[in-house]
Amino acid sequence: MVALPGVDPSWSAYLDVPSTSGADAPGTHHRWHYLDNGAGADGAPVRGTLLCVHGNPTWSYLWRTYLAAGLAEGWRVVAVDQLDMGYSARTGVFRRLEHRITDLEDFVAALGLHGPVVTVGHDWGGVVSLGYAERNRADLVGVILTNTAIHQDPARSIPAPLRLALAPGVHGMGTRTTTAFLDVTLALARPALDPSVRRAFRAPYRTPQDRRGIANFVSDIPADPSHPSHAALTTTAEGIRTLDVPVLMMWGPHDPVFSDTYLEDLAQRLPHADIHRFEHASHLVQEDADTAATAMEWLAARSVAVPTGDAGTTASAPTAGSDEGSDEGPDEGPAFSPLGRRLRDLASGPDSGTTAVAEITPSGARTLSWKDLDDDVAAVAAGLTALGYGPGSRVSLLVPPGIDLTVLIYACLRIGAIIVVADAGLGARGLSRAVRSSAPDVVIGIERALLAARAFRWPGRRISATSLTAARRRALRVDASLGDLRAARATADAEVQPDADAAILFTSGSTGPAKGVVYTHRQLSAMRDTVGATLGLGPGTSLVAGFAPFALLGPALGATSVTPDMDVTAPRTLTAQALADAAAAIDATVVFASPAALRNVIATSGALSEDGRTALGRISLLLSAGAPIPVPLLEEVQALVPAAALHTPYGMTESLLVADTDLDGIRRAAAAGAGGLDGAGNGVCVGRPVHGAAVAISPLAAADPDVQDHGDGPRPPGSAPGAATGEPTTAPGVTGEILVDAPHVKDRYFRLWRTQQESVRTHPWHRTGDVGHLDAEGRLWVEGRLGHVITSAAGILTPVGLEQALEILGDVRLAAVVGVGPAGTQAVVAVLETAASGSVAAAAGRPVRRRAGAAAASLLRRPEQRARLAAPALAAAAREVARQRGVDLAAVVEVPALPVDIRHNAKIDRARVAAWSSRFLSGGRAGPL
């Protein structure tokens, strides 16, 4: 046997096993190879055994990280080589699925393996392990699955790669005669396998005879009901529906064979399963992601194999019954009132004829009264019900904010369907990733969205939000239109369960792949109540919704709302006149708009008509959320809405409102900071916690360059440079991760079990990933993101305070402060976007930049506008500003444009800036920023 990186040679073992499989003659014995970490061999107690089963064309080497992790956590791990595979015997007999399940039973019996047992499977080893689990429940305490499948829909073809592998003329040549099938499988790893690891995977399959099992495994794929193994597959697929042990599914969504379609099928058969999708992983998810650490964390969190009486000694964990649910029910609070209750009350009250919603389009205003809105919601709800959707159905809504989206949202909530909302600002690939990960039952969208659904092969049926010709409907595979839904007349109300899932809202993707955030009906209602109580919104209020999250809360609050003529997913499209026209249409007194939208409002304010200025003069409350907003911009906005109180609420997709303050409050906090009030300054003041919310800080650990942070659990003080310790405090002046607890905080992340665990590891707090502190007056200051904390030899530095100070200098329009080098000894670098370096970004109305940096790349091609070390005068000024804050800058760099978040057009991608700065300062080819 060749050297196996990551495998202790003592783990390798052989066992002679008598066969009871019908594939073999009576009395046949086969020599099995397996890897066994030997936990418990010395008499030490173990929690149980992980029985790991590989698929095709891998072998037990696939589970090497599990053997190591299990040894550390008190689990025996036994990873088998199935017969005809790996280093087990070549039997010369074609082994079907039924035989392989019996083979595994024979091996377990010969090894003398008893419970508690957790089966672990991948690829077709997942099917075999499930077959074993379904037939051997007495010792079974858990099931772990990675990319696999248990059912093939007869109406769908098997995946194209498998069709090719089965094709006559290809099958034998690709799977046995050559190593093509093996090579293609190994090439799916993301990133590519280390050559030594690749050699280890190939080692047992050197000759065509060695590869006979690979060929036979492919031939045994039950492509249709006529296949000999179809009955065994169906028996297992139906049998697992009654498994009552904890289940974990870990998935690589880039798998070209076992796609999310198969994950969804398994999720329906095992509805209590916990699921984690490793967003960047492919078929060999064990190679692409740390699934072993996740499995160990899950085993502990779920108290798998721990006697009931001892469960309290393990980490708190969500209960079974949802993929990532929390472990406690909601706190007692006000009686539950569904989100749409106020809409229905107003529709039947004396104000039923007044305007409820409006939208401004280039062709004019469209409005619905409360009665009309309720009737439209009822009709669409009935139409959805007639098509078979109801409680638990996931409905992806790809419709611009406005009346139609409002109607669809409240119709879905009325029948208990789960709305799925992802921002088009994610870009085509980001949006596709979000939609696919949510596995919708139906996609309702405008034509552009339906074109994307066809191009990216999104799951679910399709409904058009607009009228289409018969030819277009066929081309886009549309089953119905919104008009068809409205034609329904039957009643369709469902009894809404307060703690049932109501919505999956995707994050902006500004700090990594967008995550689906799950809210229950109770949590959405709590969000409504928090917004109403904090901001004083309710019946009689009229608001302009220029910020997508608030465009949908008007009916829930009983407030008249209007969507201005803009693309809400591209805030910079809001002009001053469009804002004024919307305000005039409903005599609005409240405006919601993002900082990016307000920048463009200021930039276009010179074109305002007198009527427009009058309409804006009636605004009494303006709110800007979604990103920090500088005081100078607020002061410019104040001139446009002189009668308005300017509020800047702080929140996130996981908790729409956390804290709130106004312009006067920001000024007072800044003055206090300048006067030395304990805990003030250094960041953006976002005010005090909102109604019903509590905020605490998880302090950052002191820098310790000798300790590395692997993100694998709660960290004691000093455990990793800049890591949050997990000990909540409300003491003033302590910088750390911001924690929030409120009735309107999300329930969980959708199919991101490990991410959810990390976010609640300091129960009951939600860990926001933002860094900040509380001052002596209880105000919250935001200093940046946890992942952007700089750990220099001089100590820990958060970026926002210094960035704000640098942005006051001369021609500096935007600043990013990043760390370069190893954690604990990072050099502090200031990267400045300046007019002198050729920026095309106006101070007001910054253009949206694509993630690929095309605009910046274009600028960098011009010699006079390339990135460069800052001019001496600017560098000296920047160093002086930093020194006043106790920071020594290692370098000051000028760039044409800093990368900013697509949707908010304000959040700097500091991770990208740091990586670029490292290349630039080392003299390498930095490329465009």
Quick: pLDDT tens for 841-855: 333 333 333 333 333
348 vs 552, more confident: 348
How far apart are alpha carbons 899 and 889 in whole angstroms? 21
Alpha helices in 712-766 (DSSP H): 753-759
Give the pLDDT of residue 766: 96
List, in order, residues 6 or more apart from 650 with CB less than 8 Å away.
Answer: 625, 657, 658, 659, 660, 686, 687, 780, 782
Task: Answer yes or no: is pLDDT of 711 > 50.
Answer: no
Peptide bond into 246 cis (omega under 30): no
Residue 812's alpha-carbon distances to 739, 836, 866, 910, in angstroms, are 33, 9, 16, 17
Q: Which helix (H) or strand (E) holds 767?
A: strand 766-774
How far apart are alpha carbons 81 and 916 in whole angstroms? 45
**837 confidence band (pLDDT: 50, 70, 90):** low
Give the pLDDT of residue 676: 52
Read off the amino acid at residue 201: F
**303 confidence band (pLDDT: 50, 70, 90):** very high
Torsions phi, psi for 10 (to 5 deg) = -70, -15
- With CA atoms as reference, report the closest residue to 901 among 550, 568, 426: 426
Read off the amino acid at residue 710: H
Residue 487's alpha-carbon distances to 358, 381, 387, 746, in angstroms, are 22, 11, 12, 35
201 vs 158, more confident: 201
- The pLDDT of 660-680, averaged and rounded, is 80
Taking only the tens place, the pLDDT of each residue in 493-542 is 778 899 999 999 999 877 778 999 999 999 999 999 999 999 999 999 99
- With CA atoms as reference, report the closest residue to 263 among 116, 398, 109, 151: 151
DSSP per residue, 558-604? T-EEEE-SS-TTSGGG--HHHHHHHHHHHT--EEEE-HHHHHHHHHT
The angle formed by the CA atoms of residues 261, 262 and 263, to the nearest 5 degrees, is: 90
**858 confidence band (pLDDT: 50, 70, 90):** very low
**864 confidence band (pLDDT: 50, 70, 90):** very low
Taking only the tens place, the pLDDT of each residue in 598-608 is 989 999 999 99
DSSP bridge pairs for 6: none
For residue 666, the number of C-alpha atoms closer than 13 Å in the C-beta half-sphere is: 24
Q: Collapsing DSSP states into helix, strand and coil, what is residue 635?
A: helix
Give the pLDDT of residue 907: 77
Average pLDDT, the chain: 88
- The pLDDT of 451-457, averaged and rounded, is 94
Task: Answer yes or no: is pLDDT of 453 > 70.
Answer: yes
Task: Answer yes or no: is pLDDT of 305 > 70.
Answer: yes
Q: What percent of the chain has pLDDT over 90?
A: 74
- Taking the CB of residue 85, how many other CB atoms lie within 10 A of it? 30
Which structure tokens are listed for 315?
């980490």
Taking only the tens place, the pLDDT of each residue in 226-264 is 999 999 999 999 999 999 999 999 999 999 999 999 999
* Pick from 451-465, 614-628, 655-669, 826-840: least confident: 826-840
- The pLDDT of 863-869, averaged and rounded, is 68
Task: Detail the DSSP E strand segments found in 345-451.
Answer: 355-361, 364-369, 394-398, 418-421, 442-445
Task: Answer yes or no: is pLDDT of 329 > 60.
Answer: no
Give the pLDDT of residue 403: 94
Taking only the tens place, the pLDDT of each residue in 101-120 is 999 999 999 999 998 999 99
Taking only the tens place, the pLDDT of each residue in 785-832 is 999 999 998 889 999 999 989 988 988 988 999 999 998 899 999 999
Give the pLDDT of residue 654: 96
How far apart are alpha carbons 242 and 232 in whole angstroms? 17
How far apart are alpha carbons 125 and 82 in whole angstroms? 9
330 vs 474, more confident: 474
- The pLDDT of 393-403, averaged and rounded, is 94
How far apart are alpha carbons 233 and 213 in whole angstroms? 19
- Domains of the chain (ranges, CATH numbers): 9-156+224-313 (3.40.50.1820), 341-652 (3.40.50.12780), 663-787 (2.30.38.10), 791-921 (3.30.300.30)
Q: What percent of the chain has pLDDT over 70?
A: 89
Residue 729's alpha-carbon distances to 682, 699, 723, in angstroms, are 19, 8, 15
Task: Answer yes or no: is pLDDT of 648 > 70.
Answer: yes
Give the pLDDT of residue 914: 94
Give the pLDDT of residue 274: 98
Task: Answer yes or no: is pLDDT of 868 > 60.
Answer: yes
Task: Answer yes or no: is pLDDT of 703 > 90.
Answer: no
- Taking the CB of residue 664, how many other CB atoms lie within 10 A of it? 10
How far apart are alpha carbons 562 and 349 in whole angstroms? 21
Give the pLDDT of residue 334: 67
**75 confidence band (pLDDT: 50, 70, 90):** very high
- With CA atoms as reference, report the closest residue to 485 among 569, 387, 573: 387
Q: Collapsing DSSP states into helix, strand and coil, what is residue 637?
A: helix
Task: Answer yes or no: is pLDDT of 573 > 50.
Answer: yes
Read off the amino acid at residue 585: A
Give CB contacts under 8 A, 24+ apart, made by 498-503.
498/330, 498/336, 498/522, 498/525, 499/329, 499/330, 500/391, 500/392, 500/416, 501/322, 501/392, 501/418, 501/747, 502/339, 502/413, 502/418, 502/419, 503/418, 503/419, 503/420, 503/421
Give the pLDDT of residue 900: 79
- The pLDDT of 704-714, averaged and rounded, is 37
What's the predicted TM-score (pTM) here? Answer: 0.90
